[in-house]
Amino acid sequence: MAKSIIDKYEDHPVVIEKNVLLPVASNQKMNAYLKKIADICGITKTLTSHVSRHTFATTITLNNDVPIESVSKMLGHSSLEMTRIYARLLDKKVGRDMNHLTEKYSGRI
């Protein structure tokens, strides 16, 4: 799947000019697109690439049991401390983790 996406854009002017695999918009341009999308959808929260990183780190990965070490790599961080800024643990996740431990060790005392 990834190879087919790369192949699709191999002749794109930005890919050729900048010698990159994909034509990626700047943060400023991406945030402008996100603002338009939010306006069209009636979303009042300010959407930015920064907000999307928080959402990815918490809701999509950590909340679905992806280890923080993997999340750190996915976000391109050089240390777990950087990831912890984005990946604040949700109460629901902590509760599930405690339930998992309780189930794992119940009856083993």
- Average pLDDT for residues 69-95, to the nearest whole number? 84
Burial class (CB in 10 A: 0-12, 13-18, 19+), 57: buried
Report the chain's mean pLDDT, rounded to a whole number.
89
Residues 7 and 25 in one domain: yes
Residues 67 and 106 in one domain: yes
Residues 37 and 56 in one domain: no
Rg (CA), the chain: 19
DSSP 63: G
Residues 39 and 54 in one domain: no
Q: Which domain holds residue 12?
A: 1-43
pLDDT of residue 108: 59
pLDDT of residue 28: 94
Q: pLDDT tens for residues 38-74?
A: 999 999 999 999 898 888 988 899 888 899 999 999 9
pLDDT of residue 107: 66
The answer, yes or no, to whether residue 109 has pLDDT greater than 60, is no
Dist CA 93 CA 109 (whole Å): 25
Sole residue written with tokens 């240390």: 79
Residues 38 and 56 in one domain: no
Residues 99 and 56 in one domain: yes
Residues 36 and 64 in one domain: no
Residues 37 and 60 in one domain: no
Q: How many domains does the chain have?
A: 2
Residues 57 and 108 in one domain: yes
